[in-house]
Every structure is written in C-alpha cells, then in structure tokens.
Amino acid sequence: MTISVWRISHLMLALISSIFIVLASLTGMILAFEPISNQLKDYKVDAINEVSLATTITKLSNIYEEVLSIEVDDNEFVIASVFTKDGASETFYINPETGEKLGDVTEKAFIFKFATNLHRSLFLKSTGRFIIGLVSFFLFLMAITGAFLVAKRQGGITRWFSKVVNEDFKQYYHVVLGRYMLIPISIVALTGVYLSLDKFNLLPESEIKHSYPEVVEVDVVRTLISEFELFRSLKISEVKSVEFPFSEDIEDYYFIKLVDKELLVSQFTGDIVSEQPYALNQMALQWSFILHTGSGTIVWSAVLFFVCISLLFFIYTGFAMTLKRLKNNEKVSNSIMKDDAEYIILVGSETGTTYTFATLFFKALITAGEKAFISDLNSYTGYDNAKQLIIFTATYGEGEAPTNAKQFGKHLDVTVQNKLEYAVLGFGSLMYPEYCKYAIVVDALLQQHKAFTPKLPLFKINNQSLEAFKLWVRQWGESNGIVLDLTFRDSIKCQKNNTSFKVMERSGLNVDRSFLIRFKPQQRVKFESGDLLSIKINSDETARLYSIGKLNGDILLSVKTHDKGLCSNYLNDINANDMIKAGIQRNYDFHFPEYADEVVMIANGTGIAPFLGMISDNKKKKKIHLFWGGRTKASFDMYDKVIYQAFDKKYISSINIAYSQEQDEQNYVQDLIAQKDEFIANHLKNEGVIMICGSLEMQNSVLETLQNITNTRLKMSLSAFENMEQIKMDCY
C-alpha cells in the first residue's frame, strides 16, 4: 500500500473520531486522578501481605455479631460488611490485622461519577457505549496506521528510534511522541474495545459453575476457623472477596474469589469443596479493567494521564499539519493552456513545500512575461509548443516518488513528445540515506529519452534551503537569458535589528574585493562563533545574514563585496568608530561541537569567519584541522595573522589550503578532501565532526566528495554521519 493510503486512512479515522477522542481524553485525564486520590486515603495497612485470612476472620468474628463479607479492593483497602452487636448492618474499611474499623466507605466523588458516565457512554446509555467502543477501535487503527507512517518515514522498522528529521515543530513532535506513545495508546484502545465487547455480551460465555457435593456427611465435627489450613495459608492480599455462609447449615459454604480462581470452602472443616479457575477471557477482562483505569496503581494512572494529554496533542498537531499541507498544496491557476506554454513546470510533492518553491518560480516566469504552465508530475503529457520541461520533485519513503509523481515514469514511456530541453531540481534531506533519489531517477529517465536534452545538470536542495533555491534560480535565469525576480511571502523571518554595534577596525579590500570588519556590541547581547549577524539597510529590503566569528568578545565578519550588493557595499563604506544597527540570530546548529574531540573545518572564501573565532577560542586545544579554498595566495593574507597566532598556541593542528588560480591546474577545497580521503574516513569513524561554511556550490561539491569517501572507505552512507550530528553546515 502506498504511503498516501496510510496517511489518508490515518486522517479519516482522526476526522471521524476526534471529537469523541477529545471528550474521552479530557474525562480520562480527570479519571486518571481517581486511583491517585483513592491511594491518598490512608486505609492501606502495611502488613496486608503478612496477615492471613484466618486472622482477619477470627478478629472480625470476635468483635462483631455476624460477618457477611470481606472485600479487598484494587487499592488493597480491606472492606467488611457486618452486623454489629447492636444489630446494625454496616460496611466500612478495616484493619485486617486487628479487625478495627478504619473509616466509612464513602460514595464516589461527583466529579468522578460524572466523568465516568461521560467517558463510558456520553450519557447516552447503550448508544453512547457503542460509539465509545467504536472510537476505541478507531483509535487502535490510528495507532497502527500511525506506526506504519513512522516506520515509512524513518526508513524501516529497524530505524524506528533513529533520529527524526526536524523540519517542522508540529510534525517533529507528532512523530517523536508517537514513537513512545504507540504502545500505551494501543493498550488503552484495545482494553477499551474489550471492555465494550463485554458490556454488549459479545465475549464468549465464561460463567463459572461450581459442582456442589451430592452427598454431604452430616456428623462432621466443626474445626475452629483459626485452624483451617487454607485460611491460615492464604494472605489477605491474595484474596479478592469472601462471602460468608448464609446459615450454619453444612450445605452452605464460604465463597472465595482469588485473583485467578474461585473456591467453595466448607464452613465445618475448611476443606475446598470446589475449585474453578477463571477462563482466559475473564482474566483478560480483569487485566483490561486495570490497564484501562489504572485502578490501584499510581504509576500506571500517571501513564494514562499522559496518554490523554498526548492524544489531545496528536489531534492538535495532526490537524495543524493537515491544514498546512492543504495550504501548501493550494494550486495556482494557470492562465494559459498547456499547449500554449513554452515552459512546463511539473511538480512532485507530498506535503506541499516543493509546490511552494515551484509556485514562486512559476510566478517569477509569468512576471518576466514568459508563457508558463504548472501541474503535477502525474499529469505529464504531450506539450505542443513547449521549449523546456522544468521538474521540481521531492523524494519520499525510502527514496520513492511522492504520490503525485508516481505515474510520471509510465506516462513518459507512452507519450509522444516534441524535442524539449529539461532541468530537474531535487528536494530532499541529507538525513535520509537515499538523498534526492527520486530526482536522480527522473533525471536519468529524461537523459535516456531521445526527446529530451539537458539544459542544466541535476541540482539537489537539502532541507528546503532557500539560499540553494535562489542559487539554482540564478543559474537557470543565466542559462536561459531570463531575469527572474522571486517574491517571498513569509520566507524570511523578520529580525529585530535594533542592537547598536561600533566598528572597531576594518581591513582594506583584498584581491577578491573582500575585507574583515570587527564590531563591538554596545548593549549586552549573547552570541557565539557560528551565530549570524542580521543587517537590514532599509525596511523594504530583506535582512542579509553574515556568519559571526567571536574574537575577544567582538564580532568579526568577513565580507565579500558585490557590484550590486547593497549590504556589502554599505558595510564597505563604514569605518572605525562608526555605529550600525543590527541583530543577532542564534544559529545553535552551527556552534563549536563541545562533545567532539576532533573537528575538521571546511570553508571557502569568506566562509572562514566563524572558524577564525572558534579556532582562537580553542583553549582546550582540541584537534582542529582547517581546509580552506581561495583564489590566490593573496586571498589568504587577510586571515593568516589570526590563523598563525592560533597555530603558535597549538589551538589548531593542521592547515590545508587549495588555490584555484595560483597554478595552472585548478585546485579546490573538495580536491584537498579527496586527497585526504583516508584521514577523513578515520575522522568520521572516530566520531569526529566536520563543519562546512561557505558557498553552496562548494558545499555541494564537498558533500559529493564526502559521500564518495564514506561509500568507498566506510561502506556507509553520508546520511548516517549526518544523523549522528557529525556533519554541520552553514552555507549560502
């Protein structure tokens, strides 16, 4: 079955039963307190596991005129029904060791009575009981479909507890909590179903029939109760209830219920006259009751309370995710027919984010005056006037196609197509072993197809990186001679840029038109190397982010100027003692990994800035290996003072530099990594961390090189190390 069938079933079940689950959870939360409040009453006697039934009966018989019954409830409180010496009939808690009264048996509190009724039958008697039973069954089905979705998402049941990719708060905790709550929720649901089946008499008949002796000896001598072998050996904690003989007639017996069986016992001799074990379903019923109500155990009641809260959380996050998915999947309407369009954009998306990116691109094409058409990959067909096919696709399951792309391969085989150029943009996550696998498959299918010629090589986007997307759009625009202007709605979070920073010093421009600039915050702000400084020149512009190196409490930035770069030119125009307003954006995922003993830092160009701070602060002298790529020797001059000072202090263990334009043969940082493949493989094997900062092109090439190294030398996918937080990236 495909993932969407499971997801739709999961959603449908939730839609049908959510109101009842909310009611059952809220009342369940109240009811979870009943066993707790009962246990707080002080009627439990410590010696309950030592006192024998013989002792309790003897003591009671001495104090009261007649004893009718003894009951030990789920809280292990002992209740006796007696006639007092004054002839009054009373039922109360007793001390089983002395027979003394401990307190009156009070009625269930109103709140618990009310909650029980609502929880069991919605105050609708049999109809309500039926609804609740059915909803319990649906809840169980939801647990199963949910488990399947989690297993699929994690890449198989064996990876059940492997790290969950955190792309969205609600989705992340829906999955993380779901993994832990699966078993308790299934127990609550199944026991609920079982209790309902019992109420509707749908369980097999399990009434116990005792065989009474046909011939009874009449001249038997009465033995004292305190001498009864059975009563002496039975501890009161093993007994559920004892009904005393109705009369002193020899044919009336003690009727005793234990945890697993019922006994008829002679009141004259104490011998067992009949012994009947409970049927399996009777035992199952007892256990269902305990597991469903938490009766008698505070710990399980607390678990049940947590189950109720988590169900409310699942309903809230589940519906919030569905709404977001629906919003993401809102299709833009095409203003022209497919056969009139020159650019055909086809999308493969499961939860809609790829559609959001494709829509941005589509709208930019329309704004640029191009004839574009957008649709699902499944609706691939012939296009009469198209020049280019642009495919945006995510990957799902274990490297599979999203649901709206599953038919693409089939349609491609049977469709007669005019000659077309194509470009494939893959959306995926490096956390999964099959990174962007479906985009790779689509690219390969088009490569083999004679109607198609590639316009751009396959481009992969990790974790919906906006920066990577912008880079691809720039490349696409350049190769097609179209200037595209992407308009983002909420894509960049608004930063508060109201902290004052004073410029302490700055370098001149180097050969690459880059410079270093150092700021001192004028207010107390928290930051670390790896955090980002957000600068917004005017309110119309989106904020520009720069990676921070923290040097002696100051912020060090390495800035490359661009001809049309508003922010880089603004920074280039300021000098020592000038003030700027900016904001700190914490970037916790890119802080120095204190847990690692050895760190490899890979950067190109200005990406070195956070590493300058981390290296200068390495007072513990952890092993740090720097790999840096730049254009020429002069490109590095700006950084060598900080680096060689750190080297003298033994704060850095090795420096490896690749120059792309210093010699005839171009040498890039990924080439250095490839040359040191054995070292890199050992580093990862020994739990070392690799940090990457710089351009997205460099990041993609370095990741490819690392993937080759882990595949060939360690026979493992790079995603395994990513999942163990051994790869950290901050590229732009």
Ligand X SMILES: Cc1cc2nc3c(=O)[nH]c(=O)nc-3n(C[C@H](O)[C@H](O)[C@H](O)COP(=O)(O)O)c2cc1C
Residue numbers at the binding site for ligand X (CB under 6 A): 152-153, 167, 349-354, 394-399, 402, 427-429, 432, 434-437, 464
The nearest distance, CB 638 to ligand X, in angstroms, is: 37
The nearest distance, CB 677 to ligand X, in angstroms, is: 24
Cβ nearer to ligand X, comparing 136 with 395: 395
DSSP line for 97-118: TT--EEEE-PPPPHHHHHHHHH
Q: List alpha helices for 404-488, DSSP H.
A: 408-414, 437-448, 466-480
Q: Which residues contact 174 (CB under 8 A, 6 or more apart)?
A: 313, 314, 317, 318, 321
Cβ nearer to ligand X, comparing 167 with 271: 167
SS3 361: helix
Torsion sign over Cα 151, 156, 162, 165: negative
User: 10 Å Cβ neighbour count for 29?
Assistant: 18
Angle at 441 between CA 396 and CA 163, to 5 degrees: 30
The nearest distance, CB 462 to ligand X, in angstroms, is: 8
Cβ nearer to ligand X, comparing 324 with 631: 324
Q: List the end-to-end C-alpha distance of the chain, in Å, as a whole number.
A: 39
Tokens of 440: 């790779």
Q: How far is C-alpha 483 from the geometric centre of its chain's CA atoms? A: 40
Tokens of 545: 């982010």
Tokens of 331: 């299709």
DSSP state of 119: H
Cβ nearer to ligand X, comparing 52 with 356: 356
Query: How many angstroms separate the CA atoms of 400 and 432, rounded?
Result: 12
The nearest distance, CB 475 to ligand X, in angstroms, is: 19
Cβ nearer to ligand X, comparing 491 with 653: 491
Cβ nearer to ligand X, comparing 38 with 349: 349
The nearest distance, CB 204 to ligand X, in angstroms, is: 42
The nearest distance, CB 382 to ligand X, in angstroms, is: 26
Spatial contact of 691 and 596, defined as CB atoms under 8 Å apart: no
The nearest distance, CB 519 to ligand X, in angstroms, is: 36
The nearest distance, CB 71 to ligand X, in angstroms, is: 52
Cβ nearer to ligand X, comparing 421 with 434: 434
Instruction: State which amino acid sits at residue 587.
Output: N
The nearest distance, CB 379 to ligand X, in angstroms, is: 16
Cβ nearer to ligand X, comparing 374 with 603: 374
Cβ nearer to ligand X, comparing 329 with 675: 329
The nearest distance, CB 700 to ligand X, in angstroms, is: 14
Cβ nearer to ligand X, comparing 292 with 437: 437
Query: How many angstroms separate the CA atoms of 331 and 333, rounded?
Result: 6
DSSP state of 224: P
Residue 251 — φ and ψ, nearest 5°?
-90, 0
Closest Cα to residue 401, out of 369, 355, 440? 440
Q: Which residue is nearest to ligand X, using beta carbons?
A: 428
Spatial contact of 433 and 470, defined as CB atoms under 8 Å apart: no
Cβ nearer to ligand X, comparing 34 with 434: 434
Spatial contact of 524 and 584, defined as CB atoms under 8 Å apart: no
Query: How many angstroms separate the CA atoms of 535 and 581, rounded?
Result: 7
Residue 613 — φ and ψ, nearest 5°?
-65, -45
The nearest distance, CB 349 to ligand X, in angstroms, is: 3
Residue 541 — φ and ψ, nearest 5°?
-85, 150
